[in-house]
Amino acid sequence: MRLLNILKNDRGGQIMMLVLLIMAILVPIFNLMVPENHPLHVPTYTVTLMGKYLTLALLAVAVDLVWGYLGILTLGHGAFFALGGYAMGMYLMRQIGDRGVYGNPELPDFMVFLDWKELPWFWQGFDQFWFAAIMIMLVPGLLAFIFGWLAFRSRVSGVYLSIITQAMTYALMLAFYRNEMGFGGNNGLTDFKDLVGFSLQEDTTRIALFVLSAVALAIGYLICRYLMNSRLGRVCIAVRDSESRARFMGYRVENVKLWIFVISAMLAGVAGALYVPQVGIINPNEFSPINSIEIVVWVAVGGRATLYGAVIGALLINYAKTYFTAELPEVWLFALGGIFVLVTLLLPKGVTGLIAGLKRHKEVPA
């Protein structure tokens, strides 16, 4: 009943939840129980690809929370996504043990190669899943808290805030490229074997990760929708529409921005953690500013301030990216730029705005 109240006036969210439920039930059945030569069989590669798309959709929802409802155009959420991914990658590396190339039960292969003698202090504890799970949310959340506390209390906003969020993720990218940082340098972390004792090469593990990605997207969406339905959500919209007026009415605008920014960063960290075991690698390229810009494009294409629009945009753009990078790799970036320009000029409210407009047009009597 509480779930129905959260989605009471959210038709798009209701449809999305139903689709996720159907996918979480049917995809495992079509993968594990339908013969490979049957036309309804879903290959494991496709399952993994869909799981990756769902994690990116969660990342898009996190960005829509701050951009769509607070008006903060963040170009640094790729950093929170990557930090969550690195936390998961560190746990997965610790699970390799003596099965690595060098057979060292304590040190990951890249540390042995670089002649490190002992495990760095910040790797301690990552052999335990519970510790890694905490770090997946704590590290992005803590960075967002420190960054937001400094930026919002200084009343940095608009394009200036966008620039410094982009500078933050670029600085992290440069730092993680350095071998002495202890995160694998430009090669990053890879060659993962197990996740909580289950082989990452098994079809059942891939299915479990897909289902977990669907569940995480659903929970993340419900958290965001609950927040936006609450009094806090109404204050967020007031801040977005007129920050000076909200401040004049007595609201601590910087606190509202800070906590929504932190929650969004934690959701991005969870998305990154689920992304890594499905793609099999995490490296500093995930911090690249262009990745954060792409996320904004997903949200713009789907439609800001809808949440489910961010999911639609992420799925559409990433499917297009998969197709173009395989069939026409040299035109992908031009296609992405063209899509963003067309949406900005012709569909300022994104795909969801177009659908809503068509629906209203049909309802108007002739």
d(CA 208, CA 106): 28
DSSP E strand stretches across the chain: 189-190, 194-195, 198-199, 281-282
Q: Which residue has the tokens 């959500």?
A: 233
Phi, psi dihedrals of residue 305, rounded to the nearest 5°: 60, 35
Mean pLDDT of 296-311: 94
198-199 and 194-195 strand pairing: antiparallel
* Contact predicate 105/319, CB 8 Å: no
Tens-digit pLDDT profile for residues 35-71: 999 999 999 999 999 999 999 999 999 999 999 999 9
Q: Is the pTM for the entire model greater than 0.85? A: yes
Mean pLDDT of 149-166: 93
d(CA 49, CA 52): 5
Would you say residue 269 has pLDDT above 90?
yes
d(CA 267, CA 224): 10
d(CA 286, CA 169): 9
* Contact predicate 65/263, CB 8 Å: yes
- The mean predicted confidence, pLDDT, of the chain is 92
Task: Out of 47-56, 307-316, 351-360, pick the least confident.
Answer: 351-360
298/360: higher pLDDT: 298
How much is the pLDDT for 4?
66
- How many angstroms separate the first and last alpha carbons of the chain? 39
d(CA 348, CA 351): 9
Mean pLDDT of 353-365: 74
* Contact predicate 223/7, CB 8 Å: no
How much is the pLDDT for 365?
60
How much is the pLDDT for 93?
96
How much is the pLDDT for 112?
93
d(CA 83, CA 8): 34
Would you say residue 3 has pLDDT above 70?
no
Tokens at 235, concatenated: 């204050």
Mean pLDDT of 162-174: 96
Mean pLDDT of 60-88: 96
Fold type of domain 2-363: ABC transporter involved in vitamin B12 uptake, BtuC (1.10.3470)
Task: Out of 14-23, 230-239, 273-282, 339-348, pick the least confident.
Answer: 339-348
Mean pLDDT of 257-285: 97
Helix (H, G, I), strand (E, B) or coil at 94: helix
* Contact predicate 319/332, CB 8 Å: no
Distances (CA, A) of 200 to 99, 189, 209, 265, 277: 14, 15, 9, 26, 7
d(CA 357, CA 306): 14
Tokens at 278, concatenated: 């499905």
How much is the pLDDT for 315?
96
How much is the pLDDT for 192?
95
Return the closest-CA partner of residue 90 out of 56, 129, 51.
129
d(CA 291, CA 270): 17
How much is the pLDDT for 2?
64
Cβ-Cβ contacts under 8 Å for 146 (sequence gap 6 or more): none
* Domain assignments of the chain as residue spans, ordered by start: 2-363
Tell me which range, 315-319, 345-349, 361-365, is most confidently predicted by mean pLDDT: 315-319
Task: Out of 2-16, 216-230, 269-283, pick the least confident.
Answer: 2-16
d(CA 287, CA 174): 9
Q: How confident is the model at residue 150 (pLDDT cuts 50, 70, 90)?
A: very high
